[in-house]
Chains A and B, each alone.
Chain A
Amino acid sequence: QKEVEQNSGPLSVPEGAIASLNCTYSDRGSQSFFWYRQYSGKSPELIMSIYSNGDKEDGRFTAQLNKASQYVSLLIRDSQPSDSATYLCAVNKVNFGNEKLTFGTGTRLTIIP
């Protein structure tokens, strides 16, 4: 089982609609979860962090976390063409007190005007 799993897409969503991105993780001990946006050839850009079960909203973005199901999601409301990018789910993995981000392969999102 992959440590962090995402559907690679591509996911196509009409402009103005809601884009829904999903991620599952294998390490039950993980405590911190992040969504990064990556444009082609660029670096990961942090868009959301979530640490506790439930929803966290920031502007058009909502992150959802369900630790019992080991599931993280990202909703993008009122999708814009500029949201077209690859979205990376990252899970903070702790190993003997040391921690690092483990990334999924990313979901490529295309917003259709």
Chain B
Amino acid sequence: EPEVTQTPSHQVTQMGQEVILRCVPISNHLYFYWYRQILGQKVEFLVSFYNNEISEKSEIFDDQFSVERPDGSNFTLKIRSTKLEDSAMYFCASRLYRGNEAFFGQGTRLTVV
């Protein structure tokens, strides 16, 4: 069964360092997303991506964040200069059509120390 895969599963980084979280969406899907979940809180939307450009981004997705689909299969989230409050689970999701089911990867737990 096709699935969204994310690497790494856990990343520990020092404050101020850059991190890149990687995702391989389901192969025929067209819409891609990053969400995050701070421990004990709800899943929050970060950014949506379609047709090689950002469709929408949340207030959380400031200038420190960027996304890229460099090669037609990978979808990456970069945080340029991490802060302690960036510590969270980051989930990549993809969907085939607008409005239908979105499937989530297993997540990357980011810990900023």
Chain A contacts to B: CB under 8 angstroms:
31-32, 34, 36, 42-46, 49, 88, 90, 92, 94-95, 98-106
Count of B interface residues, CB-CB < 8 Å: 23
Question: Complex: how many Å from CA A104 to CA B41?
Answer: 10
Q: Is the CB of A106 within 8 A of B101?
A: no
Give the total number of A-B pairs whose CB atoms are below 8 A apart. 54
Closest to A105 in B: B42
Residues of chain B within 8 A of A42, CB atoms compared: 106-107
Chain B contacts to A: CB under 8 angstroms:
33, 35, 41-45, 48, 55-56, 89, 91, 93, 98-107
Residues of chain A within 8 A of B44, CB atoms compared: 103
In the complex where A44-B43, A88-B43 touch, is A101 in contact with B105 (Cβ < 8 A)?
no
Known A44-B91, A46-B104, A88-B42; further 8 A-B contacts with Cβ < 8 A: A34-B102, A46-B103, A88-B43, A94-B99, A95-B56, A99-B99, A100-B33, A103-B43
